[in-house]
Chain A
Amino acid sequence: NAGVTQTPKFQVLKTGQSMTLQCAQDMNHEYMSWYRQDPGMGLRLIHYSVGAGITDQGEVPNGYNVSRSTTEDFPLRLLSAAPSQTSVYFCASSYLLDTEAFFGQGTRLTVV
């Protein structure tokens, strides 16, 4: 039972590079979301999706794109990486909005 799987676990990018953070869940959850975690800031919502084909912006969406072509996958794209995007990124999923959210192990991203 894999749960929520994020890849990669660690990544270093140069300013201006693009990349995709992968997130997959095998629990048939409709609801998925991306957060970033920064010291003293807690978790801030980047984007979320309430089902395949439906996405919406969270608190800090600038510089990130998402898509939800399948129920299982919810990739996060950094279009042109900036040092301000250095952070730990977490993907989460839940069956319904009021049920427990399951988190991946996180991706630690450094932009130099």
Chain B
Amino acid sequence: GNSVTQMEGPVTLSEEAFLTINCTYTATGYPSLFWYVQYPGEGLQLLLKATKADDKGSNKGFEATYRKETTSFHLEKGSVQVSDSAVYFCALRGAGNTPLVFGKGTRLSVIA
């Protein structure tokens, strides 16, 4: 079945540091890939997405590229801010009527 594996947290970075959160997936066919973010006490919200190989999703300075050859969708940001502190979830939606499948989440803490 479809599955997502993302790096274990927590990740603690200083402000303006470079961020990478690794995400790899297993799926048949051509899934759509997503990154969701959960701020403290809130529900999840979509951060970015990519629907086909080599697509790059981007939003709020975050980027991720859909790499079919390595089945990866790593999240990156060049310079993190304290306000980026949150839990980040990688997710995929497979072909057909299949629901979203989430990774376990990575907690990011950014300190000033």
Contacts and interface: CB of A to CB of B under 8 A. Distances in A.
B51 to A, nearest CB: 7
B46 A100 contact: yes
Contact of A97 (B42, B44, B98): B98
Contacts of A45: 99-101
Q: What's the dominant secondary structure at chain A's contact region?
A: strand
Interface stretch (A13-21, A36-44, A74-82): A36-44
Interface residues of B, number: 20
A103 B34 CA distance: 14
Contacts of B105: 42-43
A42 B89 contact: yes
A33 B99 contact: yes
Contacts, number: 47
Interface string A22-41: 00000000000101000011
B5 to A, nearest CB: 10
Q: Which of B45, B100, B104 has the most CB of A within 10 A?
A: B100
B100 A90 contact: no
A18 B100 CA distance: 28
Contacts of B100: 33, 45, 92, 101
Contacts of B42: 105-106
B70 interface: no
B83 interface: no
Nearest to B46: A100
Interface in A79-100: 90, 92, 97-98, 100
Contacts of B45: 102-103
21 contacts: A4-B43, A33-B99, A41-B104, A42-B89, A42-B104, A43-B44, A43-B102, A43-B105, A48-B99, A58-B99, A90-B43, A92-B44, A92-B100, A97-B98, A100-B49, A101-B44, A101-B100, A102-B45, A103-B44, A105-B43, A106-B43
